[in-house]
Amino acid sequence: NVDYSSGSAVLSGKFNLQGVTPSNGGSAIDFGTVTRTGGADYTLPSNVSTPNRDLDAFGKVATMSYGDADMQPGTDYLWTVNLYQQALIRIDVAGSPTSVPSDVRQFILGSLPGYPSSSTGELRPWALKFQNGKGYLGVINDASNSNNQSDVEAFVLEFDPNNITAGFSTVLNFDPNIKR
C-alpha cells in the first residue's frame, strides 16, 4: 500500500502471498523460485554495476512470479496473474495493508471453461484489464513445442470477474508476427 497524502510516496504496508492457501481451496499459491546458490553465475553481486549472468533467472523470465495486476473498479479486489501456476488471483485488499488478507482466491486458468489449449507451445498469461464490468486477460502461445514462429499466437479472453468460474470467451485471436 502506498500513501501519497504527504505529496510523496510512502510505503504503508505490504504482504507476501507465497505459500498462502487460497480461501476458495486448492493448493498453496506458488510463484516459483530462482536459484541463488552455485557460484557467480547464480548469485547477484552486491555492486549493482558489476556485470553478472544470473543464469537461473534469465531462463525463467515470463514463467514465474507476477504478471499484470489491476484493481476491479468499484470493488476492493486486486487481481493479479500468477505466471508460475498460470492462475488469476483475486485479493480483497479492504483490510490492513500490513497482513495477508483473509480473502485471497486463486483460479487455475486451465481448469476454467473456454481457456484455450495448444499442442504447439505453452500458453503464457500476462496482461490483465477491467473495463465496463468485464475482465480481459492477454495470453500468448509461445510455440515452444514446435519452435515454429508461425505457431506463435495471441489471445484476448473476456471473463466476468463476479463469476469467473463461468470461464472465458475469446474476443480476439491474432498472429503477433505481423510484418511491418
Query: 124-138, pLDDT tens digit by residue?
Result: 999 999 999 999 999
Asked if pLDDT for residue 179 goes beyond 70, the answer is: no
pLDDT digits (tens, 9 = 90+) for 95-117: 888 889 999 999 999 999 999 99
**Are 151 and 120 within 8 A, CB to CB?**
yes
Owner of C-alpha cell 500468477? 82
Confidence grade of residue 54 (pLDDT, cut at 50, 70, 90) = confident
**Are 81 and 67 within 8 A, CB to CB?**
yes
Radius of gyration of the chain (CA): 19
Q: Model-level pTM?
A: 0.88
Least trusted range by pLDDT, from 17-31, 55-69, 106-120, 163-177: 55-69
Q: Which residues fall within 8 angstroms of residue 47, CB to CB, at 6 or more apart? A: none
Asked if pLDDT for residue 40 goes beyond 80, the answer is: no
Write the DSSP string, 93-131: -SS-TTS--S-EEEEEGGGSTT----SSS-EEEEEEEEE
